[in-house]
Amino acid sequence: MTNYLIIDDEYIAHDIIKGYCDMLPNYNLVKNCYDAIEALEYLNSNTIDLIFLDLNMPKLKGFDFLKSLSNPPKVIVTTAYQEHALEGYELNVIDYLLKPFSFERFVKAIQKIDVSKIPTKNTETITSEITQEQIIIKSNKKYFQIRLDDILFIEAIGNYCKIITVHEELTIREKISDLVKLFPSNLIFQVHKSFLISKNKIKSIEGNRIFINNHTIPIGKVYKINLKRFLKL
């Protein structure tokens, strides 16, 4: 379990970071701090694994707070100010996230942490059942039933995959190399190392791009010949 602390004077930032962490396995929020002084008081008697740190805060600025720590935990900076990025990396922060940041960018920052020291629970978000008509998955501690015909495409994000359907987006802890083996090959097909698409949802193909609804999917060179065979072009 990774115990983390959020230090930010904006309430909405706390909600966004916690919401993202809730989508990942084994991340536990131990405290919300709205200024660095409050965080210092907490750290004097508690040990944590990770801090999400804003920079422009009242009383004590983020980097001044970080410099005051003799043995700081891992730190991911979350800020609206790009000009301090170099100083952040000199202080050995894990990553520097510019607000507003997406879940995909957030996951990339998380992946820079030494995950070998963080236990995982694959059972929290693995695919649990798949048939020719539907897939049942567990995501964020909830079960979802998805019709295969509703899937637009699937995008790999490191060790996670984002399933885009006509109704919603779901993120599961599953590698795309494992997912491609589960789906019926006549319905879902890999066109790029990071993308699976639904054959029935292709709107058009132009060059090395596939258009599905308002999304543009790249076609990898090694997959192009197989795609033509798949579509019988």
**Does the pLDDT at position 41 exceed 80?**
yes
The percent helix, strand, coil of the chain (3-state, each to 5) is 30, 35, 35
Q: What are the φ/ψ torsions at residue 212 (nearest 5 degrees)?
A: -130, 115
- pLDDT (tens digit per residue) in 71-113: 889 999 998 877 666 666 667 788 889 888 888 889 888 888 7
Look up residue 211 and give its two tokens: 């258009």
Domains and CATH numbers, the chain: 2-117 (3.40.50.2300), 123-231 (2.40.50.1020)
Distance CA 193, CA 184 (A): 18
pLDDT digits (tens, 9 = 90+) for 137-194: 766 666 677 888 899 999 998 778 889 999 888 888 888 888 887 787 778 889 999 9
To the nearest whole percent, how much of the chain has pLDDT over 70? 83
SS3 label, residue 105: helix
Classify residue 199 by its DSSP letter. Answer: G
| Of 138 and 49, more confident | 49
Q: Which residues pair with 143 in a beta bridge?
A: 138
Residue 76 has phi, psi (to 5 degrees) of -115, 120
User: How far apart, in Å, do the first and last CA atoms of the chain sit?
Assistant: 50
Where residue 209 falls (left for φ over 0; alpha for ψ -120 to 50; beta otherwise) is: beta
Tokens of 171: 């993120």
Cβ(60)–Cβ(41) below 8 Å? no
Specify which residues 160 forms β-bridges with.
157
pTM of this structure: 0.51
What's the mean pLDDT in 197-225?
90
Q: Quick one: pLDDT at residue 89?
A: 63
Q: What CA–CA distance (Å, rounded) separates 106 from 186?
A: 33
Question: What are residue 212's DSSP bridge partners?
Answer: 215
* Three-state SS at 110: helix
Strands (E), the chain: 2-7, 27-33, 50-53, 74-79, 95-98, 127-130, 134-139, 142-147, 151-157, 160-165, 169-172, 188-192, 195-198, 204-206, 209-212, 215-218
